[in-house]
Amino acid sequence: NAGVTQTPKFQVLKTGQSMTLQCAQDMNHNSMYWYRQDPGMGLRLIYYSASEGTTDKGEVPNGYNVSRLNKREFSLRLESAAPSQTSVYFCASSEDNPPYEQYFGPGTRLTVT
């Protein structure tokens, strides 16, 4: 049982390049999330998906797109990376029953130059 996995672990992009961050969970959870964390700050919600086929914007969605490929996988795409998107990106999934505990992946450290 791997929990929540993310790839890649590290990535360096040039401004304007695109890339997709991958996330998968093996806990059969319906809800999945993407957060970003800037240095010295708490996590901020980018997008979330309450179930397969649905996605919703979070607090900071601009510059990102998401795809809920199936129940297991939830990807985050940067179409045209900007230095302001340099951050650590965390994927999470949530239990479907109270207390809706969220389980987080190890993170992807992205630098945009």
Partner 1 sequence: DAKTTQPPSMDCAEGRAANLPCNHSTISGNEYVYWYRQIHSQGPQYIIHGLKNNETNEMASLIITEDRKSSTLILPHATLRDTAVYYCIVRVGYSGGGADGLTFGKGTHLIIQP
Q: Residues in the site for partner 1, rule: CB under 8 A?
A: 4, 30-31, 33, 35, 40-45, 48, 50-51, 58-59, 88, 90, 92, 94-96, 98-107
Between 19 and 88, name the residue whose CB sits nearer to partner 1: 88
Residue 80: which of 67, 57, 63, 62 has the closest Cα? Answer: 63
C-beta of 58 vs 63, nearer to partner 1? 58
Q: In what order do the strands lie in the sheet with 4-7?
A: 4-7, 19-25, 74-78, 65-68
Q: How far apart are CB 31 and partner 1 at their closest, in Å?
A: 4
